[in-house]
A and B are shown apart, each in its own frame.
Chain A
Amino acid sequence: DVKVTQSSRYLVKRTGEKVFLECVQDMDHENMFWYRQDPGLGLRLIYFSYDVKMKEKGDIPEGYSVSREKKERFSLILESASTNQTSMYLCASSPHIRAQYFGPGTRLTVL
């Protein structure tokens, strides 16, 4: 079974803090993704990576950055958290586009 794990299920941070969300997959997948999920808006792609040290902007990259130093790990960074970044963050990995495997999500609250 493919396993995608995210470092925290719940996180509470203050405005202006630097926030790191970690994602690890155990299936040697090339592609990894970060989404945010908001009611009524579905899943929106923030960034994705198709190889180590490679990244590409998604639909809503503003206020976020990513890091992929190892194939199994993809980190999402909020440089200076703001209240409008309060959301559910989902990480996914895939060997090919026909199936993306999602982690359980991190619910981030920015106060």
Chain B
Amino acid sequence: AQSVAQPEDQVNVAEGNPLTVKCTYSVSGNPYLFWYVQYPNRGLQFLLKYITGDNLVKGSYGFEAEFNKSQTSFHLKKPSALVSDSALYFCAVRDGGTYKYIFGTGTRLKVLA
């Protein structure tokens, strides 16, 4: 069965420092991978996706993610964190066979001023 894991419930980083939010996945076949962000009392907003091609994917708000097939990871990164990046981040994988989108448990990012 398809699954994603976000091993950290919370990540704290100082403003201006680089940030990484981790995600690993388990799929059969080629993975379709996504990152979403959720601000308080809001819906999930799409950040970026990997379908095929370049392993480094660039997305909204300066975020990027690196697809690593050998490590089955799709970590979200940003070179310089902003306080406004503080939110809940979800990694997701699409099950190509059933069209389900499976979400991780979420990682709360806190950027400290």
Chain B binds chain A = no
